[in-house]
Amino acid sequence: MNAWKDVLARIPSMSLVDMESISLLNRQDTKYAFPHAQLGEVLSRIEPHYRVLETEASRIITYQNRYFDTPEFKLFLDHHNGKRNRYKFRYRRYEQSDLCFFERKFKNNKGRTLKKRVVVNAITPHLNQPGIAELLERTPYSAQDLIPVLDLDFDRFTLASHAMNDRCTLDLGLSIRRDGRSVHFPELVICEIKQGRFSRDNPLVRALESLHIAPLSLSKYCLGLLYLQPGIRYNKFKEKTLRLQRITTIAHA
């Protein structure tokens, strides 16, 4: 049942210092989603080509996130409407190391993702920690415009190719909470390949294509609002949610 963990354990490790050399804060992201049952086969096919990030003696890291939006959900609606030059704001905490950041992600009109972040003390319901105002000042938003909208947790492991020109993340156990309600995706794997420029010759892209796993542009933040915010606009995400329902179970609480 956990054969994928055996494969992951065989992949050579790399340090955070090594990984920072290919941080790709200016990058092109390609996302995929597939059932957990296929994870072992995916890893077996790419095992010779990658190393896995290991920090604090752990290869699987728990991520805790808090996402912010305007009271009118403008950031969600920008994504839903396909607007380029759009933003995403969140706290992110790495459980094993207890490091915490506030992050600003910007997707420009060329489809590239640019990310900046600042170290903060903790995940809080407000945005008055040092450095956050400076990170927001070049955006159309201020700390007063943004409110906490949902909390989102998952486990992740990160791979980097031996060629050191790309990295990828694989997220498991996605759990999302808002206003006392929650939704869980226990059988879902979300894979994101981060490259300076997309290439089909990437070993992971080739492996996914060989298993007939097609790209699925999927924002975990938008996914959470689709399930936990009654009346939210969703028509342009309908096809994606139908694909998601075909490949995974969804548990509400």
Question: Is residue 85 over pLDDT 80?
Answer: yes
Question: Is residue 20 over pLDDT 90?
Answer: no
Could you read off the pLDDT of 106-128 as tens digits, one per residue? 999 887 788 899 999 999 999 99
Question: Is residue 11 over pLDDT 80?
Answer: yes
What is the reported pLDDT for 112? 79
Question: Is residue 63 over pLDDT 90?
Answer: yes
Residue range of the domain that includes 229: 3-252
Domain with residue 116: its CATH number is 2.40.320.10
DSSP H helical ranges for 81-168: 132-136
Three-point CA angle 51, 28, 101, nearest 5°: 75
Confidence of residue 26 (pLDDT cuts 50, 70, 90): low
What is the reported pLDDT for 113? 82
Q: Identify which has the larger pLDDT, 251 or 170.
A: 170
What is the reported pLDDT for 29? 83
What is the reported pLDDT for 214? 92
Q: What are the DSSP E strand ranges found in 70-217?
A: 86-94, 99-107, 113-119, 147-161, 166-178, 181-195
Q: What percent of the chain has pLDDT over 90?
A: 69
**50-53 and 13-14 as β-strands: parallel, antiparallel, unpaired?**
parallel
Could you read off the pLDDT of 144-162 as tens digits, one per residue? 999 999 999 999 999 998 8
How high is the mean pLDDT of the chain? 91
Per the structure, the count of domains in the chain is: 1
Question: Is residue 163 over pLDDT 90?
Answer: no
Question: Is residue 74 over pLDDT 80?
Answer: yes
Cβ–Cβ < 8 Å for 128, 143: yes
- pTM for the complete prediction? 0.91
Q: In 3-state terms, what secondary structure has residue 229?
A: coil
What is the reported pLDDT for 253? 65
Q: Which of 17-31, 109-123, 176-190 has the lowest mean pLDDT?
A: 17-31
Question: Is residue 198 over pLDDT 80?
Answer: no
What does the pLDDT average to over 233-246?
89
Of 86, 108, 79, residue with least CA distance to 219: 79
What is the reported pLDDT for 23? 59
